Amino acid sequence: MEMIVKNEKLKKWVNEIEQMCTPDKVHWCDGSKKEYNELMAQAVKSGSAVKLKKRKNSFLFCSHPSDVARVENRTYISYPSQIDAGPTNNWVAPDELKATMKSLYSGCMKGRTMYVIPFSMGPIDSPIAKIGIEITDSIYVVCNMHIMTRVGKKVIKKLGKEGEFIPCLHSVGAPLAKGQKDVPWPCAPMEKKYISHFPDENLIWSYGSGYGGNALLGKKCLALRIASAIARREGWMAEHMLILRLTSPSGKQYHITGAFPSACGKTNLAMLQPTIDGWKCECVGDDIAWMKIGPDGRLYAINPESGFFGVAPGTSYDSNPMAMESIKENTIFTNCALTDDGDIWWEGMDGSPPKHAIDWKGLDWPTERKEPAANPNARFTAPASQCPVICPDWEKPEGVPIDIFVFGGRRAGVVPLVNEAFNFDHGVFLGATASSETTAANIGAVGNLRRDPFAMQPFCGYNMGDYFQHWFDMGDRLGDKAPRIFYVNWFRKSQDGRWLWPGFGENSRVLKWMCERIEEKTEAVKTPIGLLPTIDSLDLKGLKIDKQDIKALLHVDVEAWRAEIPDIEKHFAQFGDRLPERLRKQFEALQERLK
């Protein structure tokens, strides 16, 4: 199909990329259902995808076993000087990185079609939205972008003649020689993968991976790494946060954002079904929040995405019924198992496991080696509009006003169930020192404890020390309209390795306590690390939980907290003089309180 493109800058860029990558064909994506269906039909025909008999208009893709998650050690933030990328990002100078990548890009789309995807992050008419153009040679990417972002003609129209866009170049890095047969999931070997960002130029270049955040460039690359750098320059915030609306029995609305690291519970919390009487939860977004100060001085958040790219394993009617309802149809599944009756399956789904399935590697399952049927980072891609509890205001151009920021991570020990910051500065300290055990969302070891400040360690597009300062600056501008800050840990375990807290819908009890705190309706105990609920102030009505477990969940082990000090010290030391003085002060005050 032909689209009328009047933006000369866009035409010129597409032309340049075509010259460099030498695809067989160029296809401008119009974002239509017809386009989606035709591309999916092609993916099925070539053996890249399976159409599921059991779910309407839904497909399963299985990736190459080497290409199953984000690759943080191949992700680069490229400024002319390394200090601007900071100690938490990989860095290569722009000239050098571009030279390396240009030689990889040269001829890289041979034998393939080059797709041009005009997309909007955020509702097209939102003043907070941004336009990106992704060029890719992957059908999987085009179809996922159709769901995750707003794609097509309407974006080209909005862009007009002179509009600005963020260029996002992607290739799977697997050119085809004449007559060469394609593989189901083309990609390049690890040492040739590059996920590169040039924040000074608002430019993204990704090569060699077809998976998730490496390839769907609107998500982590644009909406977090590039957007965080823009947000700092322009005075707003781009955060790795879910957004939800909680309504109390009396009808009062609270808007809450939560920053937890990858695979640490954002999607689940965003769609939670409260287990406490009369409270209602609605989902605005499950992964990313863009937030600006509104005319009334409060902070407003939009979800820049239009779909969920959610962790599949562990998702069930029991744990996350709203996600299960969202993925009934029109969904792309990646690295899940295929059942004999033509549906998907993963570990932790309701009911008993199938007797036989084809696992994500394409092998008969169960295997002798008892490997999981679905990859631990298997995902579903579903339209947000299919979520039964999507908030009626989820596409409101100006966003929703935020009352509460929640930070957190996955910690088997030390960190209590919930902890309220003494004030905004202390809250920034809690965010800056957030820690979590690593998960399968990145390729690398799982279960290693690391600092993941504001859940942004893999996603901050500039020096993290400056990012901390930006948080203080935003807090200063918001003043007494700043959201209140809490820290949670759903993942504390007993000595024998059980979850101490039931989690999921029961997390509503903790959210309720937060709302009551801001209404000054409930008590807290002052501890060295922050304000904790008394056992009686948490609503535990109807919950079967051992008194000892609750005690353990709300226990502040001063000895264990003292043992955290050297690691916080090391974490802060890496920022040198870019560490805000106010964080240093907070750290000193914590040490004083722990004495």
Site for ligand GTP in 501-520 (CB under 6 A): 503-504, 507
| Contacted by 260, from Mn ion, ligand SPV, ligand GTP, none: CB < 5 to 8 Å by type | ligand GTP
In this complex, which beta carbon is closest to ligand GTP, that of residue 169 or of residue 242?
A: 242
In this complex, which beta carbon is closest to ligand GTP, that of residue 253 or of residue 319?
A: 319
Give all strands of the β-sheet with 400-401 in edge-to-edge order.
Answer: 237-239, 289-293, 299-302, 400-401
Strand, helix or coil at 371?
Answer: coil
Two structure tokens written together for 578: 């870019």
| Contacted by 313, from ligand GTP, Mn ion, ligand SPV, none: CB < 5 to 8 Å by type | ligand GTP
Q: Rounded to an integer, what distance in angstroms lies between the CA atom of residue 398 and that of residue 381?
A: 25
Q: Which stretch binds ligand SPV (CB under 6 A): 27-35, 213-221, 488-496, 576-584?
A: 213-221
First to last CA, the chain: 70
Torsion (CA) 101, 181, 69, 201 in degrees, nearest 10:
30
From candidates 97, 244, 378, 441, binder to ligand GTP by CB under 6 A: 441
Site for ligand SPV in 68-127 (CB under 6 A): 70
From candidates 213, 313, 408, 533, binder to ligand SPV by CB under 6 A: 213
* Residue 213 near residue 141, CB atoms below 8 Å: no
User: How far apart are CB 321 and ligand GTP at their closest, in Å?
Assistant: 12
Sequential DSSP letters for 69-128: SB-GGGEEE--SSHHHH-TTSB---HHHHHHHHHHHHTTTTTTSEEEEEEEEES-TT-TT
- Binding of ligand GTP by 314 (CB under 6 A): yes
Residue 206 burial (10 A CB sphere; 0-12, 13-18, 19+): buried
Residues 6 or more apart whose CB falls under 8 angstroms from that of 311 comprise 263, 267, 377, 378, 379, 441
- Binding of ligand SPV by 454 (CB under 6 A): no
| Contacted by 550, from ligand GTP, Mn ion, ligand SPV, none: CB < 5 to 8 Å by type | none
Task: List the catalytic residue out of 21, 187, 264, 515.
Answer: 264
Residue 176 burial (10 A CB sphere; 0-12, 13-18, 19+): middle
Site for Mn ion in 271-290 (CB under 5 A): 287
Strand, helix or coil at 383?
Answer: strand
Letters for 252-291 (x = contact with ligand SPV by CB under 6 A, - = none) are ----------x------------------------x----
From candidates 167, 265, 431, 580, binder to ligand GTP by CB under 6 A: 265
Sequential DSSP letters for 555-575: ---HHHHHTTHHHHHHHHHTT
From the list 509, 489, 377, the residue with the least C-alpha distance to 437 is: 489
Site for ligand SPV in 387-446 (CB under 6 A): 441
Concerning whether 264 is annotated as a catalytic residue, the answer is: yes
- Binding of ligand SPV by 193 (CB under 6 A): no
- Binding of ligand SPV by 220 (CB under 6 A): yes
Site for ligand SPV in 291-310 (CB under 6 A): 309
Letters for 243-262 (x = contact with ligand GTP by CB under 6 A, - = none) are -----------------x-x
User: How far apart are CB 476 and ligand SPV at their closest, in Å?
Assistant: 29
* Residue 508 near residue 272, CB atoms below 8 Å: yes
Measuring CA to CA, how many Å separate 332 from each of 78, 149, 199, 255?
32, 14, 31, 29
In this complex, which beta carbon is closest to ligand GTP, that of residue 186 or of residue 313?
A: 313
- Binding of ligand GTP by 214 (CB under 6 A): no
Strand, helix or coil at 50?
Answer: strand
* Residue 424 near residue 482, CB atoms below 8 Å: yes
> How many binding residues for ligand SPV (CB under 6 A)?
9
Letters for 282-301 (x = contact with ligand GTP by CB under 6 A, - = none) are ----xx--------------
Q: Rounded to an integer, what distance in angstroms lies between the CA atom of residue 466 and that of residue 543?
A: 43
Residue 87 burial (10 A CB sphere; 0-12, 13-18, 19+): middle
Residue 365 burial (10 A CB sphere; 0-12, 13-18, 19+): buried
Q: Which stretch binds ligand GTP (CB under 6 A): 45-53, 146-154, 311-319, 386-394?
A: 311-319
- Binding of ligand GTP by 490 (CB under 6 A): yes
Q: Number of helices and strands (H, E) in the chain? A: 17, 31
| Contacted by 492, from Mn ion, ligand SPV, ligand GTP, none: CB < 5 to 8 Å by type | none
Site for ligand GTP in 16-55 (CB under 6 A): none
| Contacted by 314, from Mn ion, ligand GTP, ligand SPV, none: CB < 5 to 8 Å by type | ligand GTP
Three-class SS string for 495-542? CCCCECCCCHHHHHHHHHHHHHHHCCCCCCEEECCEEECCHHHCCCCC
- Binding of ligand SPV by 212 (CB under 6 A): yes
In this complex, which beta carbon is closest to Mn ion, that of residue 136 or of residue 262?
A: 262
Active site residues: 264
> Which residue ranges make up the site for ligand GTP (CB under 6 A)?
260, 262-268, 286-287, 310-311, 313-314, 319, 441, 490-491, 499, 503-504, 507
> Which residue ranges make up the site for ligand SPV (CB under 6 A)?
70, 212-213, 219-220, 262, 287, 309, 441
> Which residue ranges make up the site for Mn ion (CB under 5 A)?
262, 287
